Structure 1
């Protein structure tokens, strides 16, 4: 290239060089036709010589490229004889999106996209980076390889470790400006590594990175299997928020039996996979004992599962990903029960997978705001005590159940489950032990299933504020009588089978197409906004507005909630329909207008009793009585509200019972051992006023302040007004649970003779670190001695051990040499302040 031609072009106009060869957009050659400097189509500048910026002096005569500003001052030069690059301004690298401004010279690729340009101040903007010639393409320029003692023609030596530090290969040290020949000079300072601009392969970039680095991958398909290898790095596309870029940036395992992306070495949330398409492996992403952040990715077309998570220390966060068209499950969590910081699947689309959308065995995690549709098996399948939370998900058109709970007890809340074979199924699972299924289902729409909306076993914990509509067979089917259904709308489930809305179960404060007895039930059209288009919000005049259980909370409903919770899926949410209460008396204006259509709602208050019966307006409103006619009904207890279905008294947790009466009465609340109906464990008594929500709190302790054994306890309430009127109600079960436990208590030997100086070793295991009391009781059941009193012990794989010799005599008789009573003594191990204990017999003879 001749100087006078180049300078003329640069002075007169913007010069554009665009070659069909994607490897070179603009080159400078010497007289022997050797390339001395090159702009490639990715916006990288490589040269044989040196790079200098902020230049003010220039060679007088040279061959190559010289760029002048409009004042005919030199602002850039590239020498063809030396390969030196000099500019008056500065280098600006990794400019992923170039929009030329004040440009004098523009370089474009074959598609017409700008990859580099010089502006009028001599600044050089590069889409990529600049560096020296790299003959073997290993990521280290020739000049550096020669300086390090490496071979510029040996691709593999960049991955070796000259100084033997065992951690940083030669490429890593070059990229981070440390000396690969000096073991004391370790890489530091975080950088961005561009693939393939700086390093040709993604795994090589990972191997050459240090914690805190970012690896940016350009669009293209990379046939690799990669392992984060415990690195706290970010691996991302050039724009992870652009779906088109994500779709065009692909890591493909080429249908091998290996995983595409592996996190197997304790990675945490600082290991980030962001905005890439992951396909063609056994698992798309595998997390084994790792907790990375996976976001904005397309995980598709893998031979097994899209994402596979295993190990109790695995807590990945999977956010805003499309997990589709995998030959197994979209996400599979296998026996993953971390004690805190649960794994999360949030804002994801999980669709068209050959098995389940999400499969969970023995795992605990959170699923929120996900779309789970068109999977060949269940939308979500739980088994073996998968006590997870599913909230605000859209689950549609899966070939089996929307959500299947087999021996699992998840919380399912705020979900729309439409058009699946079954909406929600629940049953026990018998594996190495029996796992009971007790899901809690709240604020869900379950509609238009081709079989039943819900098919549950009797252990289900709660179905509350659900809309169950338009299912082909049963609305809610139960295998045996079940009654914990409240505030629901169960309508238009159009099987010809008997009890097609509710089969073998009952409900209260619900809108049911069948006439089903139950406190507070109504049987009129719920008046949805548009059920044909799956809009199951309530119309403003729906009879289900403010018609739910008066004891249920409505604090999340707008405009004060009308004084009472709505029936259906949107009750006690910000999407609830509400009635106004202009005078603030706790009674909806619509209810007052119904009975006094010509009166101002402010005219009537909660305490008046115009019909002269036993009930004021507030009680008549709460219990759906007619305030204009004499109501003659017995005492009634509305459905109790339990604040939780599981609590741990060792952590000072309690359970609160709320309820309401239609008349003043004395109340008894019993907590009874579910396994022994005759064993009333705890009784709470008090006087209660009508029409007012009452509360009772149980701390899980007996009269001596000892925490009861961990069990299920049935809760019941009975009320008596003192005039012979009484009512009872059995609302359900609460689980008292804690971590403490004693197992494998044995005495070795089980028989000792005191006169032979024999002793017995008492062994036992404890479930967690705790204080223990170890005592001996004589054959008459009298405390003989205490071996450990509130002793601190730590849970271990090995049993705890205490040695006792009967030769020690009787504690209360200092003159005794041996025990005075022969027979079976009893060893007791227990925890202070708790009734939890274990006992074992020990034969003692003289």
Structure 2
């Protein structure tokens, strides 16, 4: 065929240069036979990137697919176009490339080289969505104020920091990505959130910080002011907020209608007010019925010398003129009142209640009620605001026995926000050296956390680095800077020197779906991260291991070699010898 006599198809794709997730956009596809021969069997393929889904087009695609258009034969100079509507999904990456490729043959059915064109679109992010309307917004208030947002709608807010004051005057649900993920920072310009004149309000999964209300009017509720007939506040943190009353949260304020609600699984800390440093329930509203459940209220302050009030109360929780308040499964500690010469209660103060119930809670300095305790709750690390419970916490299984235990919890609900849902295994230890390992993945791998149940009953830990061939140790009588190791994980075996008789190490953690343990040529000191027993032959099959040694305190060096029928089990550490580098995967 004469090279000058041939078909020459050209394809083009145009569309928006930017688009928002959750939006519908349109591409225009056009084609032209710019040659001097007919192009036969022409068809176009459109390739959509991840997150883009086809909706419709002005020319329907082939029946079998939504990205192929069969156009038949196109004469020289022949052209055409069509548009394609697509949806930009929430998982669409930041930059997408949409590609159109044209295929065609000559008169003998021989394919020409394909031709193509691309369109690059930058995907923009709008983190707030009304899931009932499908609309996306840049801020929470844009979503609430939108005319299409009405009572009963749910607004979902992605992780991020939102510098705004949230005012809710519609009966809606507000869902964040979780504590310390979705953060509303009011920058002390206002309270973080104010819900008023609503039939119901649901708030879940937020952190509210740096709220401040100083008056003169409604100088209450630095973090939240809730004035709704029904309210639910769950899985939230309210921190570092200020107000004259109700530094963290204020429920009520001269409501005309009854108000009933629940605050559950929340952390309220580091707030300050004249009255009710953490929470104030009531504020002269006799219609309130509130339940405070499984919350942690710590390090809040009420200030008796506040210039607007010559008295104050309730560093943690203050209740004033209400109908009914019930508190259970909560931890209320380390709250205080400045200049407390009147000896007002630091933790909880109740004034003129119709009914007030505080039960099954850990209250510093104590409080009369069923199941209440006054003990160190044993938080994992309150200095970093980690209020999970340690294995030795007295709050575990100490909550209301009539409450439902969350999935994975123990025999009874715990006090506090975080249910202790870790598996537990006891490892008996003998006086002297023991070779052990952790059967579970650890929530906190620090030595102090892992060995909390035998604190003061051991003095030296040793483990072996198979890569460098160096022993590493941790001694309780050395400064931390002189210790080689400060963490223990579920893939390593370690020797521990026990200083007492009848010692049991209780290990808590999460069962891993699998654990991959590198084995290096020579000897390796490893764990057995499983609760299921297995023989050496079956457990180490495929690793090429030729020798295995276990702890035996009756032997001179506390070690002995075992054969293929020896049953490996949780809590034991092992020496494993291999002839070549490999990886041992424990997945049972």
- TM-score class, shorter-chain normalisation, is 0.3 to 0.5
Work out which structure has the larger RCO, using CA pairs closer than 8 Å and 6 or more positions apart in sequence: 2
- Computing the radius of gyration over CA atoms, which structure comes out larger, 1 or 2? 1
From the two aligned structures, give the one with the greater helix fraction.
1
TM-score, length of structure 2 as denominator length: 0.46
From the two aligned structures, give the one with the greater strand fraction.
2
TM-score, length of structure 1 as denominator length: 0.33
